[in-house]
Each structure stands twice: as C-alpha cells, then as structure tokens.
Amino acid sequence: MTTSAPIFTDPDLVIQALRNDGYAVLRPQHVAALAGCDGAALAALIPSWDDLALDNYLKDGGRYRRRRHSCFIQDGRQLTQTEHRAHWQPLEYNALHGGMQRLFEPIAPAIAASPAWIQLLGTLGHVCSALRGQQPWFIEAHQFRIDTTDGIGRPTPEGAHRDGVDFVAVLLIGRANIKGGETRIFEADGPNGKRFTLTEPWSLLLLDDATVIHESTPIQPLETHGHRDTLVLTYRAGRFQGDY
C-alpha cells in the first residue's frame, strides 16, 4: 500500500487550518521557529528516547512500546510541572486501555527543565489559546518508542480514536529501519480523511480533538529491528482527565 508525503501547512495559516480542517502539519524548521529555538536545541532532546521504560500495561501482551509520561500546567507564560501522576482515560476514548490508572516512569528532569522543551510546550499552549481563548492548559506529555521486538509494533493499538482533550500535538522524533507508521486522520462527523507518512524529525501534526479522529498504522522492520519515536502532547482545558 502506498502512502503520500504530508501537505505541509503555511506557518502563518496554522490557526486557520485548525479551524477549517481540524489539523495542521508543520515542517521541522517551522516548528523550531514557532517555538523560538533552533533545530540543534530540539535535536539535543532526541537521545532521551533511548532511555524509555517498557510499557507493561499493553492488553495485547505486546512488548513493543516504551514510554515516559509527565504532566504540566500552562497558565499564561508560566509552565509548571505537576507532581508525578498516573495517566487515565475513560473507556469512551480508549476502549482498550481506558478506565485504568497507568503509572509510567516520568520524563527525565533534565529534559523537562530544558529551555527547548519549555518553549515548545508553551508555544503550543499559545496556539491553543488563540483558538479557545486564554486559559490554563492541562498538558500531558508522552515520549513513545514503538519497536519491532514482536515483529509488528502498534503505535495506536486502540485504533482510530479521539483522546478526550482539546488539542493533540504529535511530533515525529525519528524512524529507523521500518515500513508503515502511516498517519491517518478522519473527520469525526463526516466521510473525509487524509493519509500521509511523517519522515522528518520534529515534523509536527496538530489536531483539534473535537473535530477529527486519528491513528497511526503498525510498523514492521525492513531488516532485523526497527523503531519509531514520537512525542505526543495533549492540551485540555479545565482539568486533567479523571480529576473532579
């Protein structure tokens, strides 16, 4: 099955694209410019993906996913990391792994405190505020490595889904020795969809979680072993999921 390259969004039209289409795709250099840092600062974060912990919650019995997870609150220009907490989603949004408290290893302190990390999370929060109004954003950050230990690695074992938040940012960190990993976006209430494969490190997919659903197809090794690394950031108004 063939796939196409993404149609990148003009960086001046990101807000318009999110309003009209429910998603936007940015080139790495535009991500760095948006965050106000250079590509080298972002690249310095990449080695941390070699130190992720095995996800022991996969209900399919797989050992193909490694991850770290931390939470932050952005209020205006202030970004604060919360005390370490579990990741929780309702079954409505994750039929496979919802309804359970999943406590993962936290993102390394040196990564969470780095200027590039802080600028990236903060800038995306400002994009969210441009669309929904200025307010605190409750952010969950997930470092993922999907590998081919089991022959096939599944970036989204729950299938096409929404996350139950306001906005989702998916940043490709890298892919090595794999085929697959195609991104698919569908209208939540319509027939239309898009499919493409992100290949450049620090390319960014931004999603309005209320209007589109998304998934990534499984990966397979081209030779003996491969992996795909991503950073997924979710932005939710009001509170974290599971807080009342």
Per-residue pLDDT band at 2 (split at 50, 70, 90): very low
Q: Measured between alpha carbons, how far is 196 from 2 in angstroms, rounded to an integer? A: 9
User: H or E element: which one contains 125?
Assistant: helix 115-132
More confident residue, 91 or 141: 141
Q: Measured between alpha carbons, how far is 130 from 120 in angstroms, rounded to an integer? A: 16
**Could you report the per-residue pLDDT of 169-219, keeping only the tens digit for each?**
999 999 999 999 999 999 988 788 999 999 999 999 999 999 999 999 999
* Mean pLDDT value of segment 79-103: 80
Amino acid 169: pLDDT: 98
For strand 23-26 and strand 204-208, is the pairing parallel, antiparallel, or unpaired?
antiparallel
Give the domain 11-237 fold. Answer: Jelly Rolls (2.60.120)
Instruction: Locate 127 and state its tokens.
Output: 């994009």
Residue pair 16/22 in contact by the 8 Å Cβ criterion: no
**Could you report the per-residue pLDDT of 135-160, keeping only the tens digit for each?**
999 999 999 999 999 899 998 887 78
Domain spans of the chain? 11-237
Residue pair 224/145 in contact by the 8 Å Cβ criterion: no
Amino acid 156: pLDDT: 84
The model carries a pTM of 0.95
